[in-house]
Amino acid sequence: MPSKNPVKTRSHTNGKPAARPARPPAWLQAAQVSLAAAFALAPLLGGNLYVGLRSTPPEMLLADWLWNGQMPLMGGMLLALFVLVAFMAVVWGADITRLPVMKLTLPLLMLGGWLGLSVIKAGGHWFAFQRFAEWGVALLFFFTVAALVRRGRLGLSLIVSLVAGATLVSLRGIAEYAGAYSSGNPSWRIFATFFNPNFLAGYLVITIPVTWGLLVYWLRATGDDPRLRLYRLLLTVAAWLQMSALVLTGSRAGLGAMVVSMAIFSLLQLRRLPRDYWLRLASVGVLLAGVVWLASPAAQRLTPQAAQQEVYSGAFRVETWKGAARMIQQNPLLGVGLGSFDWQYPAYAHTGYTRNAHSSYLDLASEAGLPALLFLFLFGVAWLWKAGQRESGGTTDSAADWRFLQMGLIAGVLASAAHNAVDSDLNAFCHLLILFGLFGLGVGLAIDATTPMPVKRVGRRLGGILLSVLLLWHFVSVGVGEIAANFGKYQMFLGHAPQAESELKSALAWDSANPDYLLEYAELSFVTGERDKAFNLFEQAIRSKPSPRNYYRYGLYLERDGRVTEAEAEFREGIKRDPNNLPTLLRLARLLEGGNRSDEALKLYERLTEIEKTPYGQVQAVPEIVETAYAFAHLKLGIRQEEQGDLEGAEARYRQAHKVFETYRQRTLPFNRAARAMGRYNPEREREIGSGHLETVRRLIAILEKKGASEEVASLREIQESLENESY
């Protein structure tokens, strides 16, 4: 496609000809609108992670889907639709197929093929196909953008769309912080539509240098068009909003990546940057300092003192990296299977549960093997070589302006590469899509980075149709299934079993392999008395997702049905896959204790108290989540010591149990109650914990009364009274 739009002339009444751009073909307009929508809406639709069913009322469907980011599968469906429409428009309408040069294309083709092999290694489960489909759409996004974009209006419109989407989501995050601040929570870290604040930071470090690159492009523009001043003002405000939102995420890694990326951007074109750029950068810096001052509690995480106080976060991350490295060491070629990190990692972990490796590179290498990471690295190096190469034959002022956009893209990619080293940004569809979109823009704006490919139109169209239909069918299936499943979860929350069953059946009709839908339907079937059906669904879910947690859930229902031997087998299988699984260890100990195997049960209780002293028990990612399994273990061991006459040992155990229970009551119980509106609060479990705490306090009081510690007894009686009056 030519770099400039062809023009045609028409005559005015005064006889002077006037030029106007020719109307682009319909297929090009469709591709442009679809690509722009993907760039702009990716943070709204694809920033969250799929973590199972959410309780969605029907009246909240559109808001949760299009604004709150609470329906990631539906959001992914819409983003995939945008990309595939643009892809098919190019495949169907373009006269010449343009692809990136082989140095760029070959590593990506090899990466896609290797990811396909890792799907086979994973056994073709639901999560493997979902992840593979997301990578497939991201690669198509790259090839489509690279095939269309040149130094003209199309490339500029896509960059504007990217900046607009980033600014919109930044405004949303700032409004979120304002609401938290006004409600008395000034230390709130903003999420906007992302899975966590760090994911939002990972997105903003990509867009901020691109925004500055676009600003410099307009600063360098000449002419008497009055709109130029408006463009410059809007982009300056956009840069400030994005940088302010990044500060409010409280992400130290994100701020570090932003500083580095802005330094790279400034140094790459140091001699060519206009004076106005430095003035605006300084002005934004002053305004940003004001944001830091106003939001001082949120910014406290950026100080050395805060970093020292929050060593748990860094220590947990380091231990997770070590565990992921052990996974890679034992599965170097194909990894453990694409999408399988969630349930494969516990066998290698020395700390608590985590959904990802907190590093996109370790995630990719552990799931798909070191060759997959190598192919991605080779592509990145080739892309930087092409995108950053000098332009021969002299450089016009116009070409220099486009180089500012190119340098912004390069700085954004490098910032993302740095941030992905310490966080799993690429697990979010938004990050994957935007990063490969930037790759495509960089190729499109570079010199000699694409080449015409002699692909026959018939073969190209047939291949495009087949690929698009397969990907679109997958995304539509999981997206529509998510609507029904979330409605079903909401009906379960309301206690409407028939309606919930109808919705879950509909969800499985669309997405029959989703293990989360199978588990929910299994639990509902058990409650409604269809026990055989429930256990069959449990087994299907475990085959699709053999996670320690799923074995635990299955074992619980087998135990409730009186099938104790089978329940024990499921608990033991869960512990085999996760030797430190606290709920399973505790449940198995109780099961053995009830079966008159108290000695074996005591060994499991002792095992729990040993884990409490290890990095698994000491290093936590979220300190608000307190594990009460340790408290129950201390309580049981204390009861045994008291029965044997060892009152001092029993007192020490009860004190330790009380300490854990009380910490849970102060930190975790309010955290859990806050999730009540989302259907994530389990009153039965909270009552069990409260009962255990109450028993601990009563037993401790009885021992202290014998010792005459009346002052401490009075204090404990206040806690006892509070627990007796607690409402769950």
pLDDT in tens, 494-551: 999 999 999 999 999 999 999 999 999 999 999 999 999 999 999 999 999 999 999 9
Q: Is the pLDDT score of 711 beyond 60?
A: yes
Report pLDDT digits (tens) over 12-46: 444 455 555 567 888 999 999 999 999 999 999 99
The average confidence (pLDDT) of the chain is 89
CB atoms inside a 10 Å sphere around CB 281: 16
CB atoms inside a 10 Å sphere around CB 411: 27
Q: Is the pLDDT score of 305 beyond 90?
A: no
Q: What is the reported pTM? A: 0.91
Confidence band, pLDDT 50/70/90 cuts, at residue 301: low
Average pLDDT over residues 190-200: 94
Residue with tokens 């090009």: 28
Rounded CA gap, 208 and 195, in Å? 20
Q: Pick the most confident of 262-276, 537-551, 611-625, 698-712.
A: 537-551
Confidence band, pLDDT 50/70/90 cuts, at residue 293: confident
pLDDT at position 601 = 95
Rounded CA gap, 406 and 440, in Å? 11
pLDDT at position 455 = 76
- Residue 259: which of 188, 201, 176 has the closest Cα? 201
The 8-class DSSP code of residue 223 comes to S
SS (H, E, C) 223-255: CCCCHHHHHHHHHHHHHHHHHHHHHHHCCHHHH
Residues with Cβ within 8 Å of 553's Cβ and at least 6 positions away in sequence, in order, are: 519, 523, 538
100 in Cβ contact with 141 (< 8 Å): no
Rounded CA gap, 19 and 589, in Å? 83
Q: Is the pLDDT score of 55 beyond 80?
A: yes
pLDDT at position 11 = 41
pLDDT at position 18 = 52
pLDDT at position 295 = 75
pLDDT at position 709 = 82
List, in sequence order, every residue forming a beta bridge with 452; answer none if it has no partner.
98
Report pLDDT digits (tens) over 66-109: 999 999 999 999 999 999 999 999 999 887 778 898 999 999 99
Looking at the chain, the whole-number percentage of residues with pLDDT higher than 70 is: 92
Rounded CA gap, 187 and 181, in Å? 8
pLDDT at position 352 = 85
Q: Is the pLDDT score of 454 beyond 80?
A: no
What are the Cα distances from residue 498, in Å, to 488, 489, 501, 535, 537? 10, 12, 5, 19, 17
Report pLDDT digits (tens) over 372-396: 999 999 999 999 999 988 766 545 5
pLDDT at position 4 = 41
Rounded CA gap, 550 and 570, in Å? 9
Domain ranges of the chain: 172-302, 624-728
Average pLDDT over residues 559-582: 96
Average pLDDT over residues 542-563: 95
Report pLDDT digits (tens) over 662-684: 999 988 888 788 766 555 678 88
Rounded CA gap, 703 and 77, in Å? 61
pLDDT at position 10 = 42
Average pLDDT over residues 286-310: 64
- Residue 549: which of 514, 527, 575, 511 has the closest Cα? 575
Residue with tokens 């934004």: 284
CB atoms inside a 10 Å sphere around CB 159: 26
pLDDT at position 400 = 65
pLDDT at position 609 = 96
What are the Cα distances from residue 699, in Å, to 355, 636, 642, 696, 706? 38, 11, 9, 5, 11
**Phi-psi domain of 202 (left: phi exceeds 0; alpha: psi -120 through 50; beta: other):** alpha
